[in-house]
Amino acid sequence: MNLTLTILNPTGLHARPGAIFAATAKKFKSAIQIRNLTKDGDWSDAKSVLGVLKLGAENGHQIELSITGEDEAEAAQTLRRVVENGLGESVTGVALQTPSAVQPSQPPANDRQLRGVPGAPGIAIGPVQRWQEQEIAVPRRAGCHPAIETAKLDTACAAAQVELEQLESKVTRDASASEAAIFAVHRMFLEDPDLLQAARGEIQRGVNAEAAWMDAVTQVAERLAGLSDPTIAARAADIRDVGQRVLAHLLGRAASAAFKMTQPGILLARDLTPSQTASLDKALVLAFCTAEGGPTSHSAILARALQLPAVVGLGDALLQMPDGETIIVDGGLGQITLRPLAAELEAARQEKARQAGLAQLAFSEAARPAISLDGRRVEVVANIGDVADARQALEFGAEGVGLLRTEFLYLQRETAPDEQDQYEAYRAIFEVFGSRPVVVRTLDIGGDKMLPYLDLGQEDNPFLGWRAIRICLNRPDIFQPQLRALLRAAQGHDIRIMFPMIAALQEIRAAKDAVAQAAAALKTEGAAFTANVQLGMMVEIPSAAVMADLFAREVDFFSIGTNDLTQYTMAAERTNKRVAYLGDAIHPAILRLIRQVTEAAHAAGKWVGVCGELGGDALALPILLGLGIDELSMTPAMIPQAKAVIRQWHTASAAKLAAEVLSLDTAQAVRAKVQNWPKA
């Protein structure tokens, strides 16, 4: 049977939508061919992500499917649905544009400074070196034994698959499923029939595996690069990245980001991918600076996890600097100093030494509680995503968990996890923490986190649409198994359940009712469970902050998700590079909302935590202390420093600082004020 469909999602069949389409097609036994009717193109294998990408299908184009086999009717119905629902994107009918470089949020203090957005705190001094991709020489031989060369290629692809799985898992934990999703696409490239058949065809003609593989990669990359849609054409870089990774294994080399610093220094780049950031050698890369990116970009989040100073969003002027020029990087302030004077260099060295000493001391005292100079204790806990994160959190001194992301159980699966799967996973994590508190966020999907087995329907703007608690309340078949598993696994542990994306009072009331329903069902069944758990909500929507006094009557605690609260308050979507300068959560507008939530909670006798990136920002910590935050949750590696910062401040001084910065007008002004404020 044949089927004609119109591509509705704004970016067309580029990497992620194309991967979703191919992955959906692969679920069926029927043979499925696809072609671009609008371009009168040739037929391709619809189960090949590269075959789908090379169509160059843009928003508004028509595609034709030819489906033949025993399940062709089901395949046609399913593929029609995923296309009409936008293939994981909002269906707006407006093509997206490639973002331009981010403009600095503040004018430079002088002509020797560039200001961008703080990526990761820390001071670095050194010569700059611009990122330059280095191609690996490809040997070419004829008359090779096909079986031997095929085995070499299969082994190299398998090794690359393992690396990509590890990177995907790491970035999912440290950043988000959205940023990690590109690794899933890369892994699909390694299994793509078009790419593998092209390489194996060359091998059968006696060409060595290295040359055959790279010939196939080059052919596919050039075909993609020649397409008119710039978003799809940009996938050529992904193909080349995968190609270089496999080639490294074929040559017996460790796979790398294909670039090495020649001496310790500061890395400059337009932007860095997750794999590039995760693979930076900290012995040589003292810090990095990018022309693009924002504070919640994958490169910035990974930099914080790696404790690598970084400034992002510096604009195109960054890329004009010649290699070898010495600069000072201040990741906390989000600025770099060019051609530094002797006095500036000495001051930066002293500050760097001071910070290094404090970091070493902080790690040695990570197990100690965070108690201010006047005796106020702030609980410092971790954001985690699985058992490995849980163990690491304890090593860094976590006093518990402020955000357990349960999405790790739902991602990269073809079906939803059942209650027993979830029970066992939760129980394993809870056992690591013993009696320490663990705050579990219920399933938070939608927006930039999609599940292939859950049809979310058409969304004009998924970040403002059906996501998180809104989905769960409408899908008890998904929500109830999770709540039942949590209540069962909570026995003997201090478990708190937190609901994301709460905007209205009826939502939190319905969520509480859902927990009561799960408990009642377990009791009727005679199952062992714990009913006495704290129930809280995330404050990440302005309406929740504005009405915090009313919400405080309904919950046991608040946890402020500053990443989403910032993007919704500033109307600046956090993955959009053009508006990244608005994404700094230390902005006075966000701090005012935090104050409002904290005051409302404390008036009702409830506690308040911060689980967004702001909670691990060293310059934000004294403000949060001054505003009365009770708990701070962050990436495990940031915990020792956060505890040390709290110990250096007197509550009265922090409160006075907080009061003053609320009257400032920019995030940069807030950071400057904190740096110059006396702690005691």
Radius of gyration of the chain (CA): 26
Crossing angle of helices 419-433 and 387-395, in 10° steps, is 10
Does the CA dihedral 13-15-20-25 come out positive or negative?
positive
Q: Rounded CA gap, 268 and 324, in Å?
A: 11
Q: What is the largest CA-CA distance in the chain?
A: 81
Sequence-ordered list of residues with C-beta below 8 angstroms from that of 382, at least 6 positions apart, any chain: 389, 390, 393, 396, 398, 400, 401, 402, 403, 633, 634, 635, 636, 639
Active site (annotated) includes residue 611:
yes
List Cα–Cα distances, 133 to 130, 211, 256, 347, in angstroms: 10, 19, 11, 34
Q: Rounded CA gap, 126 and 655, in Å?
A: 37
Kindly give the pairing relationship between strand 62-68 and strand 31-36: antiparallel
Q: Rounded CA gap, 76 and 25, in Å?
A: 9
Sequence-ordered list of residues with C-beta below 8 angstroms from that of 230, at least 6 positions apart, any chain: 98
The token pair at 559 is: 């946890």
Which of the residues 61, 186, 298, 650 is marked catalytic? 298
Q: Rounded CA gap, 384 and 406, in Å?
A: 9
DSSP string, 597-620: HHHHHHHTT-EEEE-SGGGG-TTT
- Give backbone dihedrals phi and psi of 288, rounded to 5 degrees, phi first: -135, 155
DSSP string, 207-250: --HHHHHHHHHHHHHHHHHTSS-HHHHTHHHHHHHHHHHHHHHH
| Tokens 């490239």, located at residue | 189
End-to-end CA separation in angstroms for the chain? 76
Which of the residues 144, 157, 472, 611 is marked catalytic? 611
Residue 303: alpha-carbon gap to chain centroid: 12
Around Cβ 522, how many Cβ atoms within 10 Å?
18
Q: Which residues are catalytic?
A: 298, 611
